[in-house]
Each structure stands twice: as C-alpha cells, then as structure tokens.
Amino acid sequence: MITLWNKDLRIVQVRHWITAATVAVGLCMLLLLVACTPPSSPMTGSLAMEGRPALGEPFMLRLELRTSMAFTDVAVSFVLPAGVELLDTPGEWRIENMEADQTYVFTATARVLENGYYKIVGLGRKDTPYGSSFPGPDALYLLVEGEDTWVSHDPPPNHWESAHTSVPGGGPGLQPGLIQNRLYLSGTLALNQPVTVVYEVTPLVDLQDAAVGIVTSIGGLQSSEPRVEVEDTALAAALRFSSYREGVYYWFGTMKSQQTYSFYLTLEATAGGQGGVRAGVGETGVVDSVSQSIIETGQSLALSLYSPSLAR
C-alpha cells in the first residue's frame, strides 16, 4: 500500500509540475508578446484624395490627424515630389496646441504636371528636445497617364527582382580616372518592346586582367543577347564571356588602351516594376604579393515601368 501510494503521489507531483510549467511558459509568451508589440503612435494620420489626379487637373488632398494626447508646436505638411504642385496653400502649418482625443483636418489643392509615378505624403510631427518625434504620416501612390489614373495607399506591384550580384566599381572606385565608361539605353523602355543596354568602356591604360560586368533586374525584366563590339575585332575576341545566372553577364581578359569597347544587352519588360542595370569594369593586379583590385569604376541606371493599366 505504501509503495503504491508513493508511486501515485509521484505521479500527482509530476502532473502538478507539468501544469505549473505549462502556465509559466504561457505567461512568458504573453509577456514576450506584450514586450514585442510596438506602442501605437499618439498621433495618427489618414490621407485621402477628392477628385481624380488626371494630368493638369486639380484635385484635393485631405489629411486627418487624430490625437490620443495633447501636443504643442506640431508641424503639419504635405510632401509632394517633383512633377506635382500645390495650387492654393504652402502645404505646411505650425499648430501651437492640439488637444487630446481630437481630429484635425488639413486640405490642399494640387495637380500633376507630368505623366509618371508619384508618392504624396501627409504628416504631422512633434519634435522633442531629445530629437525624437511622434509622427502621424500617411501616403498615397499615384500613376498618371493623361486621363488614365491609378491611386492607392499601397505601392503598385513590382514584378522585377534583384539579381543579388555585385559588379566591379560598385563602391567609390579605385583610380576611376584611368577608365572612361558610360551606361545608357538606346531608346525608351516600354512594355514588350525590346530596347538595348549599351555600356561603353575606354581604358586609358592597358588592362592585362580585366573584368567587365553587367547585372540587370530579373523577373518581369528579361535580358538576352549579350555581346561586345570593338573596331578591331581581334580585341573583342580576347575577352572571354561568362554568364552563370539570369541577369548576370561578365567578360574577362585583356583590354587595350585608348580603344572603346561597347557591351550590349537586349532588355524587354514583360511586366511593370522598378529596378535597374549596374555595370562596371575593373583590373586585378598584385600588390605586396597579394592579388587584388587596383582599378575599378562603374555606372548604374535606374529603370522603372509603371502605368495605371499595369497596376490594376
């Protein structure tokens, strides 16, 4: 009987320990959740638009700021990008006092001057003597093509992806004056219309161990037909081509001083998005018995293709 009772007692004790451990874990998870949950801002903003932002047509911006505590000396503003202008107000106010649990409304009339992709921000901000602030921002994203418009609180979908690969000259460069280089498009980027990327490189010294790289966005931006041209075709033949993944193109070899090498890619956008092309050239040499980059320079080209029809 004693043995059986002790055994049952141990079982009961184990059950109590399991229950206590479960409660403790649950309490810790609750405390962790509370600790990790960011506090809500005592000032929140809501930006809305009345009317359509067709090209050249006026529309109204309406910013509502809601407070959960009192504020003094609050800066309120509409932040507009180039290509959008305010028509009737400076777009900035200084409010000496804002009471708790109130809604304050600010309006302005604006218009779009050029077709394009824009982000408009409305915000209220209270700066403290310690440099912190209680912001109340909200944003609207606009796509405008004449009378065709698209407006949302979220950015348009980006179907382009980064190739996540670097090229020579991606940093500040090493002796960049020893190589002239230029990166550009042969025409305008449009949906399902091929356009050529041109990267021109003119070394001012002979390069014995050169690397030229071009990296493009992938996904909704497709690239193909990599090639290099030089007036002396033998110089182009001295460069070995390599492409180990989508959107990444490299040439290795020797390059002659005062000769212009033109590297080409064909780009075609099959979906809307934003990203770009990066290109660079570098020379590897031996310094103190260590092989390292001794000359580097590069260029980048920001690209985007958005339209109301693609965003819808």
- The whole-number pLDDT of residue 132 equals 56
pTM assigned to the model: 0.76
Beta-carbon contacts of residue 97 (< 8 Å; ≥ 6 apart): 70, 71, 72
- The whole-number pLDDT of residue 30 equals 36
Q: Could you give the CA distance from residue 77 to residue 135 in angstroms, rounded to a whole number? A: 11
User: Is there a contact between 141 and 122 (Cβ–Cβ < 8 Å)?
Assistant: no
Q: What is the dihedral of CA 18, 19, 23, 29, to 10 degrees?
A: 40
Regions in the chain scoring below 70 on pLDDT = 1-40, 131-132, 134
- The whole-number pLDDT of residue 136 equals 72
Neighbours of 116 (CB within 10 A): 18
Residue 205 DSSP one-character state: S
- The whole-number pLDDT of residue 27 equals 40
Q: What is the dihedral of CA 176, 180, 181, 186, to 10 degrees?
A: 160
- The whole-number pLDDT of residue 15 equals 45
Both structure tokens of 117: 């992709």
